[in-house]
Amino acid sequence: MTAASTPMVGLLYNPAVPLVLDALGARVDYVEVIPDRLWYDYGPQAGRNRFSHAALAIDELRRHCADRAVIGHGIGLSLPSAMPLDEAVLDQVAASHRDLGYEWYSEHLSMFLAPHRSVPNAQAGMGLPVPFDEEVLEIVSGKVRRLSDALGGARILMENGTIFSEVPEPDMSEPEFFNRLAAESGAGMLLDLHNLYANCLNLGVSAQDYLAALDPAIVVEIHLAGGDRLKGHYTDSHSRRTPSPVWEWAHEWAPRFPNLAAITFEYHESYHRRLGLAGIAEEVELMADLAARVGEARREAAA
Amino acid sequence: MSLDHFQRGLADLIASPELVRLVRIEPRALDYLYDLTPKEARRLAAIAASPGMEANCMLYRANRLAPVALNLPDLCDALGEQLNPLISAYWAAEPTTDVHFLVEADRFCRYLLARPDALPVAAWPALQREHGQVLSKLAASRHWAGREIFKDRGGGSPAYA
Ligand SMILES: [Fe+2]
């Protein structure tokens, strides 16, 4: 990544994405892989037989990665949870990295696993809000360093989440948490603008205040997506194309992030038909336009 | 350390609209259930009282229902109005979701099989047929268990610096 380069554009990989890649070819610079979807996890009680890999899916993925960059995007480690990392899952993530060669690896700043449920490391079932406190900052920083070590020094990014209820009385704001996390652990930020959009609609967060409070240098990747309204709330369901306010923020802010290296569209395979190949192709073109604008601005600034 | 109790309480709240109702009426109930600092207790009570709690509980149910709806569609149809009370009772009895969709579907089938009196007669054929399908898919998903299929191709020296 050089200061005057153009960010890559890519798609979050899902079982329907190979159809898009076959159609769009080199228009898609990279795929973003969720390694947790490459294996079945039978839990710690299964011992040596805990993980069984989805071999055919991995083969198909390798075929599409041959001439593309790959980014790792995990959902299984739940860094903010007040419990140790699951070392067996970490080993699998590291093995997938040695095979696929992630440019960098991201996780979520949300809680996916809850400690001390009836079964250890109970799955919470969804991403839950995190207190933006010194204590959590220390936990996440330590795990970011551990994760990076396990991945041979790979860069780690943390993604902002979408939540329906805020944790009150935080030690710091969410942007401040990301800035401090970057300073203390080296973690960059995966800025999900659609998650921010959902939080604006559901919680009244000001996107402009949020984005202005971030250290622009920490943003390495942007996520774009679309969602649905559900009984008075807006959900990050990855079910539609990116809404126009999100595109406006992306155009306004992306050129201000000097280390932005990738722009990703996320959708869930169950909505592939609703989005349509043409719709996804248009998203890719719009991302390429945005990336070109960022590259142009960088070259002008460097000249 | 009480952060773990706070996080467990939060996970319990989204899994239980009953607990949310209780905490909304009597926030001190939290002190009997968890080892919390006064600030953590205030936080959990505020989250329980927040308008977003309905969405939290709704999404939790949708996420837990997904493996059952996906793998046992005919059983869900056959259960009809009985699905809601039966699956709620299952979730209360087994509050931990399994990340493996087929394991989760199998667990629900086993829960029903252990309670034959609670199951409408008309739902038996769908339960037996779809449970059988889940078991054979589970067996197939175990094919690579314990075998390493990732190859070391030197990934680990990231291009990004
Ligand atoms: Fe995202």
Residue spans of the domains in chain A: they are: 8-302
Domain membership of residue B147 (yes or no) is: no
Collapsed DSSP state (helix, strand, coil) of residue A103: coil
Mutation site for B-interface testing, chosen from A68, A70, A75, A164 by largest number of B Cβ within 10 Å: A164
Residue A31 and residue A65 in contact, taking contact as beta carbons nearer than 8 Å? yes
- Residues around ion ligand 1, judged by CB within 5 A, are A 192, 223
- Are B45 and B67 found together in one domain? no
What superfamily would CATH give domain A8-302? Divalent-metal-dependent TIM barrel enzymes (3.20.20.150)
Alpha-carbon span B107 to B125, nearest angstrom: 18
Nearest residue to B5 via CA among B46, B36, B47, B51: B36
DSSP secondary-structure letter at A161? P
Amino acid identity for residue A139 in this structure: I
> Residue B14: inside a domain, yes or no?
yes
Using a CB-CB cut-off of 8 Å, the residues of chain A touching B56 are: 126, 128, 164-165
Q: Is residue B152 part of a domain?
A: no
* Number of domains into which chain B is organized: 2
Same domain, B135 and B90: yes
| Cα separation of the two ends of chain A | 17
Q: Are residue B40 and residue B71 in the same domain, yes or no?
A: no
Q: Are residues B35 and B67 both part of a single domain?
A: no
Per-residue pLDDT of chain B (161 residues; tens, 9 = 90+): 599 999 999 988 988 899 999 999 999 999 999 999 999 999 999 999 999 999 988 888 888 888 899 899 999 999 999 999 999 999 888 877 777 788 889 999 999 999 989 899 999 999 999 999 999 998 888 888 888 888 888 775 544 43
Q: Is B52 within 8 Å of A122 when comparing Cβ atoms?
A: no
Confidence of residue A43 (pLDDT cuts 50, 70, 90): confident
Same domain, yes or no: B71 and B130? yes
Which ipTM did the prediction report?
0.92
Q: Which domain holds residue B8?
A: 3-50
DSSP A203-250: H---HHHHHHHS-GGGEEEEEE---EEETTEEE----SPPPHHHHHHH
Asked whether residue B92 is domain-assigned, the answer is yes
Task: Decide if B123 is inside a domain.
Answer: yes
Same domain (yes/no): B137, B113: yes
Position B154 in a domain? no
B43 shares a domain with B16? yes
B93 and B44 in one domain? no
Q: Same domain for B82 and B36?
A: no
Q: What does DSSP say about strands A51-53 and A39-41: parallel, antiparallel, or unpaired?
A: antiparallel
Give Cα separations from A9 to A6, A34, A186, A224, B84 (angstroms). Answer: 9, 17, 23, 11, 43
B80: left (phi over 0), alpha (psi -120 to 50) or beta: left
- In chain A, whose CA is at the least distance from the CA of B60? A125
> pLDDT above 90 covers what percent of chain A?
80
Distance from CA of A118 to the nearest CA of B (A): 7
Which tens digits make up the pLDDT trace of A209-228? 999 999 999 999 999 999 99
